[in-house]
Structure 1
Amino acid sequence: MYSKHTELFGILGYPLGHTLSPWIHNTLFQLSGYDGVYLVFENKRWNEIGLRPLLELGVRGVSVTIPFKEWAYSQANIVCKASQTMGSSNTLLFREGIEAVNTDGTGAVRSILEANPDLLDPNQEKQILVLGSGGSAKGIIFSIAESLQKKAKLGKIQRKVKILARNEFATKEILNSLGNPEWLGVTTNEKSLEEAENYDLVIHTTPVGMKGFGGKPILNSDFFTKKHTLFDIVYNPLETDLVKQAKKKKAEIIPGYHMLLYQGIRQFELFTNIQTKQKWIRKVESLLLKQLKNRN
């Protein structure tokens, strides 16, 4: 049921034929009793059209996906620190002006913390291996940095984060954007394999393994043991080849769709100023998993 008081939200991007965001947000509106509806704004020319049509329609906020995250950031007059550091945003709020927020990294960090808080304990000497240096890697590493800094005793982070990526320029960009902290560094495939026992968490951020996307994983499958946890942020298919290889070695797995779930929950909270209840999260996760299984 919609009325003249119903608030409009949506997702902005192209293509959007397979987006699952409406399932997340419209379910949360229903469960919370919030008078809102979440629509799909699909167009390949948003950077030419601009935001005026949405503002005139009275839209209150949008999720932003590829290829418009950098453009979305440039449209805002208020930006969060994560957006500023990354130069991209996945959320726009239309309030007093246009506010840009990035919830990708916070969604990833929450996925990890829900699985095992020790994996982001800054006082442990185990290391985190991040595969890739694109926008997702940047956002996740920024949020990991925030999480580690908050919990570090005497401000000293023992836990190291290493980036394994093919794009050296993008890797240097991540290091520079975070001020080249001593806990953040770069590694190679060979070196990471030699030092495999030093790592307890591997985060795969590249599109390799995604449905319709070819290529080989950066990391050698011999890396994994039962002492590792793999978080592959690809969620379609539900299990990538990398995940299957890690499972064979008895590694723990954090499902990729958890990042989609938790970044969407954070967006819902920003849209509505409502704190999400645990029972709502369980309901949305169940629906999300059902949808993904139907599509696999």
Structure 2
Amino acid sequence: MGQTVKGTTRVCGLFGYPVHHTVSPAIHNTLADRLSCDLVYVPFEVEPEHLKEAFYGALSMDVLGLNVTIPHKSAVIPFLKEIDPMAKRIGAVNTLVRTADNSGFKGYNTDYFGIKKSFEEASCSLKDESVIILGAGGAARPAAFLCADEGAKEVFILNRTLKRAQELSDSVNDFAGKKLCSAMKLSDYKELDASKKYICFQATSVGLYPKSDEVIIDDENFYKLIHTGFDAIFKPYRTRFISMCEKQGAKCISGIRMLLHQGICAYELWNNVIVSEEDIRIVYGRMLRELLDDENIVLVGFMGSGKSAVSLEIADFLGYDRIDSDEAIEQKEDRTISDIFSTDGEEAFRQMETDFLKELIADKRKKTVLACGGGLPIREENRKLLKEFGRVIFLKAEPETVYDRVKDDTSRPLLQTGDVLGRIKKLQDDRRDIYDKACDFGIDTDKKIARAIAEEIVHLLL
């Protein structure tokens, strides 16, 4: 699979400054590949003083569509031929679509849809809620109008410049026909009613990679007010704002879900298509892969813990290569594990595992998920090699779960006994500390489907 640029290929792209942190190409190029669309998406770093030239350059070069991000979401509006009523009300656009006569661009705000969809997925309602919005531009504008549309009880817009907060507050209040929003200086956050719990939108660029250690309000007492925190930033996935919310027990929504859904909406507008839920899931996985920087993932655990099934799901979700150590050794030796055990003995097989890991590391493989045989981490040398290869996750399962999964499998030499369950319990007791030493973290797999386990692992790695 992969895109081929031809004479007929259309171009879409992103205007912003800076834009090198973007993962938007993962959205649109993955969709173009999966939907066999003759389209390529690229970022364009456009400094504010060159926005007008860039806009008309894109128009004259027949660029199909554009995304627009900070700091151009409002600045680009004067150049548009048309603007969607929602975007006009918000006062900012992030998606530009060719007009019907192809003579200009029409502006849309798909950030609004991205935020709305993110809250729906999290089963979080804005109705009758008290809301804090940190910031007054960018994502703050669609967030504020969404609060009005969804029936929030009150909204406090906090910004470093009170004037901008007041302008946004007045716009939303005019639309709502009542005083819904109140403007405050960011430094006055301590004046918020501490007896209430709030939904909080972090809608500034503070904390964006590479300045990931920054946070807009660095006061633990502020985060005690929050029951649900939303951060428009997606890189890093777990911002300091999100971490401080989580520390106080708040539910959190990452900005990557907003980015995903605003991008899906933009792609549908450009290409007049409907993207399926399965394609949305795959696109999301490709976005997470970018945040993981193609880091290798290693699954360890007792036989029957789900390593094979989960590794297949991770590979599909992220677009990774998948390797099963037992399968790879069997292929190389051209015989089964049982044959190796019976002919050469267990120690010889363990050496084969060590040699296999050394070869993987020497090949400098990336974007690979490795499912390890149950006994591979027994050797201390192997445990060191696994951590050198990638992040190691211990899949845990109760003995009864393992028994149900492997009781009829005659290919496992260590289970050839009359008391299979007893043997499983003994081996798990012997190996539990070994797996704990081998891994970066562990997760339970009991009563979970492989797809859910795979997605849980990826999120924990970010």
What's the TM-score bracket when you normalise by the shorter of the two chains?
0.7 to 0.9
Alpha-carbon distance, 1:226 to partner: 10
Alpha-carbon distance, 1:271 to partner: 0.8
The answer to which structure, 1 or 2, has the higher relative contact order (CA under 8 A, 6+ apart) is 1
In structure 2, what is the Cα distance between the partners aligned to 1:57 and 1:158? Answer: 44
User: Which structure 1 residue ranges, 5 or more long, are not aligned?
Assistant: 149-156
In structure 1, what is the Cα distance between the partners aligned to 2:220 and 2:245? Answer: 7
Change (3 A) 1:216 1:283: closer
CA contact (8 A) 2:133 2:158 kept: yes
Q: Partner of 2:275 in structure 1?
A: 276
**1:263 has 2:250 as partner:** no
Q: How does 1:126-205 map to 2 (within 5 A)?
A: 126-146=129-149, 148=150, 157=151, 159-178=153-172, 179=174, 181-186=178-183, 188-192=188-192, 194-197=194-197, 199=198, 201-205=199-203
Larger-Rg structure: 2
Letter in 2 for 1:116: S
Determine helix, strand or coil for the equivalent of 2:12: strand
Determine helix, strand or coil for the equivalent of 2:41: strand
For these two proteins, the number of residue pairs brought into alignment is: 281
Q: Partner of 1:152 in structure 2?
A: none
In structure 1, what is the Cα distance between the partners aligned to 2:81 and 2:52? Answer: 18
Alpha-carbon distance, 1:79 to partner: 0.4
Residue-by-residue CA offset, 1:241-277 (whole Å, 9 max, x unaligned): 2211221222211112111111111111111111121
Q: Partner of 1:154 in structure 2?
A: none
Q: How does 1:1-296 map to 2 (within 5 A)?
A: 1-44=4-47, 46-95=50-99, 96=101, 97-117=104-124, 119-120=125-126, 122=127, 125-146=128-149, 148=150, 157=151, 159-178=153-172, 179=174, 181-186=178-183, 188-192=188-192, 194-197=194-197, 199=198, 201-213=199-211, 216-218=215-217, 220-224=219-223, 228-294=227-293
Change (3 A) 1:226 1:140: closer
Alpha-carbon distance, 1:144 to partner: 3.1
Letter in 2 for 1:105: Y
Alpha-carbon distance, 1:98 to partner: 1.9
Residue-by-residue CA offset, 1:98-150 (whole Å, 9 max, x unaligned): 21112222211211111114x22x3xx3322212222321122123323x1xx
Letter in 2 for 1:71: A
Determine helix, strand or coil for the equivalent of 2:293: helix
CA contact (8 A) 2:13 2:43 kept: yes
Change (3 A) 1:219 1:130: farther
Alpha-carbon distance, 1:25 to partner: 0.5
RMSD: 2.6
Letter in 1 for 2:165: T
In structure 1, what is the Cα distance between the partners aligned to 2:17 and 2:236? Answer: 20
Change (3 A) 1:43 1:219: closer
Change (3 A) 1:3 1:209: closer
In structure 2, what is the Cα distance between the partners aligned to 1:260 and 1:278? Answer: 16
Residue-by-residue CA offset, 1:179-211 (whole Å, 9 max, x unaligned): 1633323464223251333x2x21111222223
Q: Compute the TM-score of the two structures, normalised by the length of structure 1.
A: 0.84
Determine helix, strand or coil for the equivalent of 1:134: coil
CA contact (8 A) 2:235 2:291 kept: yes
More displaced, 99-108 or 277-286?
Answer: 99-108
User: Which structure 2 residue ranges, 5 or more long, are not aligned?
Assistant: 295-461
Letter in 2 for 1:34: C
In structure 2, what is the Cα distance between the partners aligned to 1:144 and 1:219? Answer: 25
Runs ≥4 residues deviating over 6 A: none
Change (3 A) 1:242 1:66: closer
Change (3 A) 1:181 1:32: farther
